[in-house]
Amino acid sequence: MILEGPSQDISFIDWHKKGNVIVCGSIDGSAWLFNAETGDVLQTFYGHKQEVSCGGFTPNGKRVITGSHDKSLKVWFPGSGKVEFTIEGYNFHTDKIIRVAFHKKKKIVVAGGL
Q: How far apart are alpha carbons 54 and 25 in whole angstroms?
A: 7
State the pLDDT at residue 11: 93
10-113: what fold? Methylamine Dehydrogenase; Chain H (2.130.10)
Q: Model confidence over 47-105: pLDDT tens digits?
A: 999 999 999 999 999 999 999 999 999 999 999 999 999 998 888 888 899 999 999 88
Burial of 90 (0-12, 13-18, 19+ CB in 10 A): exposed
Residues paired with residue 26 on neighbouring β-strands, in sequence order: 10
Instruction: Please check the confidence at residue 106 and state whether its pLDDT lies above 70.
Output: yes
State the pLDDT at residue 26: 96
Helices (H), 17-108: none
